[in-house]
Amino acid sequence: MNRTPISLPLSCIPEEFHSLLHDAKVFDSSCSRQAKVYFVDRDDGYYLKSSPAGTLKTEAEMTRFFHKKSLGAQVLSYINALDRDWLLTRRVPGEDCTLHKYLDDPQRLSVTLAVHLRKLHEISFSGCPVADRMVSYRETVERNYRHGMYDHSLFPDNWGFTSAEEAIAQARICMPDFQSSVLIHGDYCLPNIMLNDWQFSGFIDVGNGGVGDRHIDLFWGIWSLAFNLKTTAYTERFLSAYGSDLIEREMLRGVAACEVFG
């Protein structure tokens, strides 16, 4: 996880966090344009995330739910201010799966990711604050298609689509068959899975999580392994370790068709 030392003016931070940030070393760990993420090097570490107003509400709720299941970070504070949301969590021990130590052993890494994904999908989702993630998922696909949002560069070659029309046609075939049947992470990528010397520590960035279709997490696991390892050689090992009997290959292509629309 990237950490760039910065000087963070307290004037732009809610007063509630001033005592935490006072005289602490602060690092920028942001990886998107929309959200700013700051690592606060105090005690065992904290993460302070800021994003446009209303955008972190679901993430705060899902993070609390994952923590309750011993799967993620502890939420210390969520503030919905006039122009920004703020979310403060404790640091999850260890490092994410983009650490060279893990990337240098891709066979073990691919199995580790699959095993912990299968465990996630077997956990009870009773009481999950997002009871049917697939409703908003389908709505997002259709809305972004209408608005012309189409990223053809996202996919491995074997899932590529030649046009937005081809992708939406495939998405519309598969979307009715998506099931909200397991607890999903929603963005199951290497930077969002924390290990402590190969031992699972927790998941981070669970704002897209909820009760949804397992193939969404499987797709992103495949995509992230290929992206970070620069090869698709470990796709089958990952799927086999998860359990091929639970996987419908056409549904994976259906997820790819949906995700091209963000």
Q: Do 83 and 107 belong to one domain?
A: no
CA angle 234, 120, 40 (to 5 degrees): 90
Query: How confident is the model at residue 161, as a pLDDT?
Result: 85
Token look-up 């990711």 returns 113
Q: Say if residue 72 is in the same domain as residue 101.
A: no
Q: Are residues 104 and 84 in the same domain?
A: no
pLDDT score of 1: 64
For residue 92, count other CB atoms closer than 10 A to its CB.
Answer: 23
Q: What is the pLDDT of residue 32?
A: 75
User: Burial, 202: exposed, middle or buried (Cβ in 10 Å; 0-12, 13-18, 19+)?
Assistant: buried
Q: Which three-class secondary structure string do you get for 130-192?
A: CCCHHHHHHHHHHHHHHCCCCCCCCCCHHHCCCCHHHHHHHHHHHHHHCCCCEEECCCCCHHH
Asked if residue 68 and residue 188 are part of one domain, the reply reads no
Predicted local confidence at residue 77, as pLDDT: 98
Dihedral class, residue 38 (left if φ above 0, else alpha if ψ from -120 to 50, else beta) = beta
Question: Do residues 170 and 209 share a domain?
Answer: yes
Give the pLDDT band (50/70/90) at residue 242. very high
Same domain (yes/no): 214, 242: yes
Distance, in Å, from the CA atom of 80 to the CA atom of 71, rounded to the nearest integer, reads: 24
Last residue of one domain, picked from the residues 90, 107, 132: 90
Residues 60 and 102 occupy one common structural domain: no
**Is 99 found in the same domain as 86?**
no
CATH number of the domain encompassing residue 47? 3.30.200.20
Range of the domain at 57: 4-90
Regarding whether 124 and 19 lie in a shared domain, the answer is no
Q: Which amino acid is residue 42, in one-letter code?
A: R
Mean of pLDDT values over 181-198 = 97
The pLDDT-based confidence of 158 (bands split at 50, 70, 90) is low
For 2, the token pair is 């990237």
Q: Predicted confidence band at 30 (pLDDT cuts at 50, 70, 90)?
A: confident
Residue 43 confidence (pLDDT) above 70:
yes
Residue 157: pLDDT over 80: no
Average pLDDT, the chain: 94
Instruction: Specify the pLDDT at position 31.
Output: 77
> For the segment 159-185, what is each residue's pLDDT rounded down to a tens digit?
778 899 999 999 999 999 999 999 999
Q: Which of 44, 68, 90 is the C-terminal boundary of a domain?
A: 90
Chosen domain end from 24, 59, 90: 90
pLDDT over 90, % of the chain: 85
pTM: 0.94
187 is catalytic: yes
CATH number (domain holding residue 245): 3.90.1200.10
* 129 and 72 housed in the same domain: no
pLDDT at 160: 77
pLDDT tens digits, residue range 47-103? 999 999 999 999 999 999 999 999 999 999 999 987 899 999 999 999 999 999 999
Cα gap 73→80, rounded to integer Å? 19
Residues 57 and 122 in one domain: no
List strand residue ranges (DSSP E) for the chain, in order: 4-6, 25-28, 36-41, 46-52, 75-80, 84-90, 95-96, 182-184, 193-196, 199-203, 210-212
Q: How many domains in the chain? A: 2
Catalytic residue among 96, 187, 205, 213: 187
What is the pLDDT confidence band of residue 147, given thresholds at 50, 70 and 90? Answer: very high
Report d(CA 143, CA 141) in Å as an integer: 6
Q: Average pLDDT for residues 128-141, to the nearest whole number?
A: 97
Say if CB 138 and CB 175 are below 8 A apart. yes
| Residue labelled with tokens 């691919």 | 110
Do 63 and 130 meet the contact criterion of CB atoms below 8 Å apart?
no
